[in-house]
Structure 1
Amino acid sequence: MVSAFIDHRLDGVIRVISIINRNSLQPLYCVYCSTEHDCRTVQADVQIHTDHFSFPYGASDVICKGKHVQNATHVLILSQLTTVLNLSSTDEKDSVDPKMEYLPIRNKVARETFKFNFTICISSLFGDYNNVLQFAQTMEMYKLLGVQHVVIYQTKCGPDLEKLLKHYETEGILEIVSWPIDKFLNPSSGWNIKTHKGDIHYYGQLVTLNECIYRHMYQSRYVLLNDIDEIIMPYKHTNLPRLMEDLQSAHPNVGVFLIENHIFPKTQFEDSGKFKRAEWSNIPGINIMEHIYREPDRKNIFNPTKMIVNPRKVQQTSVHSTLKEIGGCYHVPFNVCRIVHVRVPLQGHLTKEQLFVDKRVWDFEQELIPNVDHTLKLSGLLKVSS
């Protein structure tokens, strides 16, 4: 069990985001309580998500339907009927075993006004990831683009990045959700089970993406589902609010907007060196300002997408597209918005002349560079000159 929410779109059922072993399915039961001594038990409807990349454990929804579920405050999922509970009738009130760990139920009230306009969900931060400079540049870029809230599901990271995360958490833009998946399962460090063995795909990424959507169902107008080194960048609009205003007015019923991913190889540097700043020479990580060369699309190869979604129109999501949504999806044209993704090349054989020059990030240099400097100083990572 990960977290529990009322789903108002399905007549107020309780949806428990879960991780289930697909190879040993068994009946599951919901115990939902409105007070400590007012609990009911029903058999659950188990929905295993169709995307699991062949790993044995997958993201799942356990749906609890029954009388007065909307009044419940806590829920527990059981795999077998225990003698502690009186299960002779679903109408009978059962008493709670205090040793069991119940989940609090969220999203009790469906709201139409939101605390945030744009929230970014970063699905997993793990290992010794310490790419400080790129993360600071990405966060400051998103602030300039109109994002108010970023959520990271953290297993672990490098020591310098930890300082930066603490700064952003104190500042209020960053919410860190502890994600100790490695204490329960052997998570894979990749998506391909043949290459990266494990119990569950990529540190449980599919689970955290779904959890993040429900967590922000009534907190955020839009949710961006992308990785820590990707910037969803508008090219025809100055910021994300203007982009979404236009897209949503042109496609009023759509709740899922697919944005193409485009690779900017970290191995190809801009020739003038004007952004190779001495101040950042000791900061670990990639300087995205130096990488303005974009790989061309590859023929006959699917160009993966990430998403901007209205969370109230999504029931289940995968990484590159939704699995169940209301109102359909819209593929945003490449020239309107695309992802700037500075990373190792996918087409490393191409010369600089075979790549496209794309200087969109330079449009923000006057605000971006001082903001990054300011953040690195406050985080204790950049020495303050005397």
Structure 2
Amino acid sequence: MDRIKEFKGKILFILLFVTLLIIIFKLPRTNWSVPPPRRPPATSPPVTKDTITPLKNTKHLLVSAFMDQREKGFDVRIIGIFKRDSIQPLHCFFCSADRLCKETTPSKILQHSDNFGFPYTTTDVLCRIPQNCDASYVTLVTQPEKDATTKHTWLPIRNKNEKKLQFNVTVCVSNLFGDYNNVLQFAQTLEMYRLLGVNRVVIYNTSCGSELDRLLQSYSEEGFVEMVPWPIDKHLKPSPGWHVSQYGGDLHYYGQLTTLNECIYRSMERSRYVLLNDIDEIIMPYKHNDLMSLMKTLEQQNPNAGVFQIENHIFPKKHFEPQRTFNLPQWKGVPGVNILEHIYREEPQRNIYHPYKMIVKPKMIEQTSVHEMLKNYGQRNFVSPQLCRIIHVRVALQGSLTKEQLHEDKRLWDFSKKLILNVDKALKRVGMLSNS
């Protein structure tokens, strides 16, 4: 019996061994031959998360980069702040998600013409992406290079994967600074724009007061406001004014021109229209109930226009509506101006320079200043103040005018019921609504 068991065991072993050999020889040889060499693991380039990035070996600052193929021979536009007397040739250096492109390409540097005498100015740099380079990031270098990603900080190339418009109307608000804390007017303006059909408000913030910061965080969390940090004072001495001879500093008005241009390109592939104005200004239609209805009319009348200039009308904050109809008790503890109380407007002095603000189609814009376009495609249209004008509640421009010499204008009151309700909700969310 023991010999029989031993014999059966040998037979079973032989069968298993033969079966194993058959399996091995049927396997593809590539699976058991010498394995191919391993590729080194991909390393992500150091991509900046800052909104202002110093450019190495220069006196310049980089802000952001965008796909822009409207000018023949170029693919990417970098927006920066350059020192005007230190412009030198620069080369565009690209990187994909895990490797460098093989070559740099020469750049085209375009200083914006409006600098108001300051030593630094908004500057565009146009770049061509090399062939066979799936670029996701870009930087600028003073000499052509081929390696060493760690030496550079890279800008992500925005607008590359935008497929369709997300918004009809975006408002670009440049530059909060100096601990600005006009909470009530800010809330009223944002809610008025929401009633007019605005989908997104982009705000560049250097500094603001603590109450306004709470309000903005609330709007940001719900997605209506997009806050862009703007620490320009950490890099330059920004001017609080328009003219270097009067205010000094390195850069006009905390970099307002740069932020307006950045906002246009940020919105180029996601918004049909962009409004360029300050937070104490409301671009108000007078014959339509919302901005999209206004724009439909303007486009029918001016099919080739990409820029619509809106006339500024000052509502002096020192003159109040006599009945104090909207002197509401729940707003007494909220810092700022109540725009519903100011119904008297100045007639613009059209015989002297009179500033406008703009509604633009972002895809038709190359460069903007504050009150007019520097470079654009298509035509410009000056909109009749009977159709649309700016409600600008601020210090009087023509301070000697009495209330009787001003025009009564209660257009804001047409929206007062919904506006008050929505402002109350916004203030209540951040604990600033009085119960008195």
Quickly name the TM-score band, shorter chain normalised.
over 0.9
Is 2:299 aligned against 1:248?
yes
2:180 is aligned with 1:132: no
Q: Kindly tell me: are residues 310 and 16 of structure 1, through their superposed partners in 2, closer, same or farther at Cα, counting changes over 3 Å?
A: same
- 1:7 matched to 2:68? The reply is yes
Query: In the alignment, what sits opposite 1:344?
Result: 395
Alpha-carbon distance change, 38 to 247 in structure 1, aligned in 2, over 3 angstroms: same
Check if 1:151 corresponds to 2:202.
Answer: yes
Tell whether the 8 Å contact from 1:2 to 1:19 is kept in structure 2 after alignment: yes
Alignment of 1:308-323 (within 5 A): 308-323=359-374
Contact 2:114–2:369 under 8 Å retained in 1: yes
Q: CA deviation at 1:6?
A: 1.1
SS in structure 2 opposite 1:23?
Answer: helix
Equivalent position of 2:103 in the other structure: 40
Mark the CA change 1:69 to 1:232 in structure 2 (over 3 Å): closer, same or farther: farther
- Runs of 4+ residues over 4 Å off in structure 1: none
> Which of 76, 91, 96 lines up with 1:29 in the alignment?
91
Give yes or no for contact 1:36–1:95 (8 Å, CA) kept in 2.
Answer: no
Greater Cα radius of gyration, structure 1 or 2 = 2
Higher relative contact order (CA 8 A, sep 6+): 1
Q: CA deviation at 1:69?
A: 8.3
**Alignment partner, residue 185 of structure 1:** 236
In structure 1, what is the Cα distance between the partners aligned to 2:183 and 2:214? 9
* Counterpart among 154, 167, 187 of residue 102 in structure 1: 154
Given the alignment, which residue of 51, 57, 62 partners 2:125?
62
Mapped contact 2:76–2:129 kept (Cα < 8 A): no
| CA displacement 1:126-180 (0-9 Å, x = unmatched) | 1110000000000010000000100001111001101110110112100000111
How far residue 109 of structure 1 moved from its aligned partner, in angstroms, is 4.2
Alpha-carbon distance in structure 1 between the residues aligned to 2:80 and 2:226: 21
Aligned pairs for 1:211-360 (under 5 A) are 211-360=262-411
**Unaligned segments of structure 2, at least 5 residues:** 1-61
Of residues 74, 77, 84, the one that matches 2:140 is: 77
Aligned residue type for 1:81: Q
Structure 1 contact 14–69 (Cα < 8 Å) conserved = no
Distance in structure 2 (CA, Å) of the matches to 1:296 and 1:36: 60
The percentage of aligned residue pairs carrying the same residue is 54
Name the SS of the counterpart of 1:364 in structure 2: helix
Distance 1:131 1:226, change over 3 A: same
Counterpart of 1:172 (choices 223, 227, 244) is 223
Q: Do the aligned residues in 2 keep the contact of 1:32 with 1:69 (CA within 8 Å)? A: no
CA RMSD of aligned residues (A): 1.5
Normalization by structure 2: what TM-score? 0.83
Residue equivalent to 1:142 = 193
Deviations 1:67-115 (A, max 9, x none): 338731111112x227xx3xxxxxxxx223313101011111464x310
Aligned pair count?
373
Q: What is the distance in 2 between the residues matched to 1:65 and 1:103?
A: 15
8 Å CA contact retained: 2:283, 2:390? yes
Q: Where does residue 254 of structure 2 map in the other structure?
A: 203
Deviations for 1:208-243, whole angstroms, at most 9, x for unmatched residues?
111101111111000100001100000011110100
**1:89 corresponds to which residue?**
none
In the alignment, is the contact (CA less than 8 A) between 2:101 and 2:133 conserved in 1? no
Distance 1:351 1:233 in 2: 24
